[in-house]
């Protein structure tokens, strides 16, 4: 019985084991849906990879290059360090597959500089730079100045050519950053003079030096005598003005040494051949020989001022109101400025109205010398009890422009002692009388124009239409209302405001150059004059929008013709190129590289420098 029970128990257990189901584990899915942060990095940069099913990852790569290391933090996160790397896909591999994401950018590591050789050099020297991570270098500088060129030989070597460098750091720049090394010394290159525009010259002429490495020049000399001035236009050009000079070498001194050019010949300046003498008999002329009875052009010149009205044209304002409104202080300021401080006019007004003896209309027009003299003489007689006229070089007779009998206010000049107005033991040879036009012109400039005639200057506007065909709006003697009323350089020369040593007179010299300083400023060379014959000359000056020329439309050299054989009002001075249809001459000043040619004389505007306008010229 016991055996039977045992057998049944065994059979029961075996039967139960045969019915039990075998359990099998589910497969692990491949990695997917990965993203990265940040999306760029250099070697050893840590990148966080987020996704699904990252457990058991066996590899991570950046652009196909294995990560330096990685750590699986969880089934959704891996941190990996970039290896040598490359841009491209980031991939994560597990036993069940690979997931990838595009857009990773590998950043090269920043460069380093270990050494340079040599540690000094000049322009065009080649410097070898040794370091790391130079691949893709974008710039090399020496003391902050770009290398002329450079070549990345390999990851550890660059060769660079020094430009117009400076001492200081050498810097290499790549997309990943910059590296620098201190201690580079820039050596200035030695200058050379390869040519000059002229091998002979005189004081005030400009010699154009051509060569190399002029930057930083500290001195220029002619025959051992310093240049009057010089301008380093660039590394290859210097404009040097000859000083007292003598024959010998032309030298340029720079911090790197001395450059020499042999064979310069100096000759003494001569200006007498350029001083045109008058060939017309007039009291206002453009030449040099008509000063005997004119007021002084330097020092203090006193001008008596008388105010007159008429029984039928009574003044409507006080003398001082009219004087302040139309004359002073602009007139005084004008002449002091344009004479470079050499002439100072002082008005001495008798501020009261003196009543003329006849009706206003009986005194005009002032179209004869006798009528004009009679008018002034009566005004002087009326005021003589109160005024000492012996101290005056000129007399100004003013009436109220609102009630003036005359349209214009002309100047009075006598050319012979017998034609003067005797008073107080002296003789009045010069005077100015006002008219209605005094109120028309800019304050003070009406008087300045008329007093210009007292000084001997002719009218530069035309007496026939078109009235401004000769000089446009240049020069007070052309028009009082122009944009550029300052006197021409030639006028200032004949009045003694420009000295002979400020004039370049070229005579028969074939060609050359000169640097002209603005006519409106004090000092420097003011005019170039090249005679055509013994009565006419070409003149060049520089105009700037300063002083009383502040409204000048276009700055630059102005070229004009002076002819001492032509009378006032007929064009004794004409702006070139001739164009009688142009009534303003706003664009008559020259532009850089422009050439004006007249009767075989060519004038070219070569350069504008800090010292003035450089003019080259040729007389064929």
Instruction: Say what the pLDDT of residue 176 is.
Output: 83
Instruction: Say what the pLDDT of residue 109 is.
Output: 85
pTM exceeds 0.85 for this model: no
Instruction: Say what the pLDDT of residue 25 is.
Output: 57
Cα separation, 618 vs 620, whole angstroms: 6
Cα separation, 482 vs 466, whole angstroms: 15
Taking only the tens place, the pLDDT of each residue in 278-330 is: 888 888 999 997 678 999 999 999 999 999 999 999 999 999 999 999 999 99
Q: Containing H/E element for 537?
A: strand 536-543
Is it true that 112-186 and 192-266 share their CATH fold? Answer: yes
271: number of Cβ within 10 Å: 17
47, β-bridge pairs: 80
Placement of tokens 């109160």 in the chain: 386
Instruction: Say what the pLDDT of residue 391 is.
Output: 96
Among candidate residues 560, 577, 561, 571, the one with its CA nearest the CA of residue 467: 571
> Which fold does the domain 112-186 belong to in CATH?
Immunoglobulin-like (2.60.40)
511: number of Cβ within 10 Å: 13
Superfamily in which the 192-266 domain is placed by CATH: Immunoglobulins (2.60.40.10)
Taking only the tens place, the pLDDT of each residue in 501-558 is: 999 998 755 689 999 999 999 999 999 999 999 999 999 999 999 999 999 999 999 9
Instruction: Say what the pLDDT of residue 20 is.
Output: 44
SS3 letters across 374-393: HHHHHHHHHHCCCCCHHHCC
Taking only the tens place, the pLDDT of each residue in 88-106 is: 999 999 999 999 999 999 8
Q: What is the CATH number of domain 32-106?
A: 2.60.40.10
78 and 52 Cβ atoms separated by less than 8 Å: no
Cα separation, 588 vs 558, whole angstroms: 7
Question: If you compute the radius of gyration of the chain from its CA atoms, what whole number of angstroms results?
Answer: 46
Residue 259 tokens read as: 């450059």
* Helix, strand, or coil (residue 331): helix
Domain boundaries defined on the chain:
32-106, 112-186, 192-266, 299-454, 489-619
SS3 letters across 546-609: CHHHCCCCCCEEEEEEEECCCCCCCCCEEECCCCCCCCCCCCCCCCCCCEEEECCEEEEEEEEE
Among candidate residues 103, 99, 51, the one with its CA nearest the CA of residue 78: 51
316: number of Cβ within 10 Å: 12
Instruction: Say what the pLDDT of residue 10 is.
Output: 43
Instruction: Say what the pLDDT of residue 290 is.
Output: 67
The C-alpha torsion from 199 through 202 and 205 to 207, rounded to 10°, is 20
Instruction: Say what the pLDDT of residue 415 is.
Output: 84
Among candidate residues 233, 222, 306, the one with its CA nearest the CA of residue 261: 222
Q: Which residues of the chain have pLDDT under 70?
A: 1-26, 290, 508-510
């Amino acid at each position: 019985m016991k055996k039977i029970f045992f057998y049944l128990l065994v059979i029961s257990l075996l039967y139960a084991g045969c019915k039990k189901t075998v359990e099998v584990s589910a497969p692990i899915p491949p990695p997917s849906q990965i993203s990265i942060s940040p999306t760029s990095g250099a070697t050893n940069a840590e990148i966080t990879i987020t996704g699904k099913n990252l457990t058991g990852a066996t590899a991570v790569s950046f652009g196909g290059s294995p990560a330096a290391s990685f750590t699986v933090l969880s089934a959704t996160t891996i941190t990996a360090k970039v290896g040598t790397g490359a841009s491209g896909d980031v991939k994560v591999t597990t036993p069940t597959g690979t997931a990838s994401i595009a857009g990773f950018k590998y950043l090269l590591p920043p460069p380093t500089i270990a050494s340079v050789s040599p540690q000094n050099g000049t322009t065009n020297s080649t410097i070898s730079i040794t370091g790391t991570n130079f691949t893709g270098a974008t710039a090399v500088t020496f003391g902050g100045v770009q290398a002329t060129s450079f070549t990345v030989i390999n990851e550890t070597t660059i060769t660079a050519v020094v430009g117009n460098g400076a001492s200081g750091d050498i810097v290499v720049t790549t997309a990943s950053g910059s590296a620098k090394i201190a201690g580079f010394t820039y050596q200035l290159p030695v200058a050379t003079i390869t040519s000059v525009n002229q091998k002979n010259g005189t004081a005030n002429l400009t010699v154009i030096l051509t060569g190399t490495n002029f930057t930083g020049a500290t001195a220029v000399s002619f025959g051992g005598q310093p240049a009057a001035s010089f301008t380093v236009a660039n590394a290859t050009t210097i404009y040097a003005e000859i000083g007292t000079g003598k024959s010998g070498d032309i030298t340029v001194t720079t911090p790197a040494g001395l450059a020499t050019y042999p064979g310069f010949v100096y000759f003494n300046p001569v200006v007498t051949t350029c001083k045109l003498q008058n060939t017309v008999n007039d009291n206002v002329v453009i030449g040099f020989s008509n000063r005997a009875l004119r007021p002084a052009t330097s020092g203090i010149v006193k001008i008596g001022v008388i105010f007159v009205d008429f029984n039928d044209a009574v003044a409507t304002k006080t003398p001082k109101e009219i004087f302040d409104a139309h004359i002073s202080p602009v007139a005084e300021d004008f002449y002091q400025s344009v004479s470079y401080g050499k002439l100072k006019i002082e008005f001495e007004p008798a501020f009261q109205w003196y009543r003329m003896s006849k009706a206003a209309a009986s005194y005009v027009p002032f179209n004869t010398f006798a009528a004009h003299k009679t008018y002034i003489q009566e005004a002087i007689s009326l005021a003589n009890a109160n005024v000492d006229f012996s101290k005056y070089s000129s007399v100004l007779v003013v009436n109220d422009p609102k009630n003036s009998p005359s349209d214009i206010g002309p100047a009075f000049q006598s050319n012979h002692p017998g034609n003067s107005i005797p008073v107080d033991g002296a003789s009045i040879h010069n005077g100015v009388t006002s008219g209605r036009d005094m109120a028309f012109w800019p304050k003070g400039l009406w008087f300045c124009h008329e007093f210009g005639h007292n000084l001997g200057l002719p009218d530069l506007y035309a007496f026939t239409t078109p009235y401004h065909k000769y000089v446009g709006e240049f020069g007070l003697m052309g028009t009082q209302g122009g944009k550029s009323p300052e006197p021409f350089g030639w006028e200032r020369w004949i009045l003694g405001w420009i000295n002979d040593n400020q004039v370049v007179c070229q005579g028969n010299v074939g060609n050359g150059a000169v640097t002209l300083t603005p006519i409106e400023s004090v000092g420097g060379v003011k005019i170039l004059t090249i005679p055509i014959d013994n009565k006419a000359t070409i003149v060049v000056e520089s105009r700037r929008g300063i002083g009383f020329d502040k409204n000048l439309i276009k700055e630059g050299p102005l070229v004009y013709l002076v002819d001492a054989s032509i009378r006032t009002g007929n064009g004794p001075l004409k702006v070139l190129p001739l164009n009688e249809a142009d009534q303003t001459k706003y664009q008559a000043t020259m532009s850089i590289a422009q050439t004006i040619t007249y009767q075989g004389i060519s004038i070219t505007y070569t350069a504008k420098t800090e010292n003035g306008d450089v003019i080259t010229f040729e007389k064929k």
